[in-house]
Amino acid sequence: MNEKDFEKCEICGADLIGIGPDSPLYCEKCIAEMEKLSMSPEKYKQYREIRETMGK
């Protein structure tokens, strides 16, 4: 992994703003959705995958 790997959200791939050593690995949208649904990042990734699969 290099520095470029940390410039995108680990869940949706959106560009992250203000990258620094203490920056979150997720975008604001994903963080808000995880908090709203009370899900961990791992569970939220599974939720998004299922939602995308069922939406097709």
CA distance 18 to 6: 11
CA distance 53 to 48: 8
pLDDT of 19 reads 65
DSSP-based three-state secondary structure for 36? helix
| pTM check: above 0.75 | no
Give 1-56 pLDDT, tens digit per residue. Answer: 555 556 889 999 998 876 666 767 899 999 999 999 999 999 999 999 999 999 75
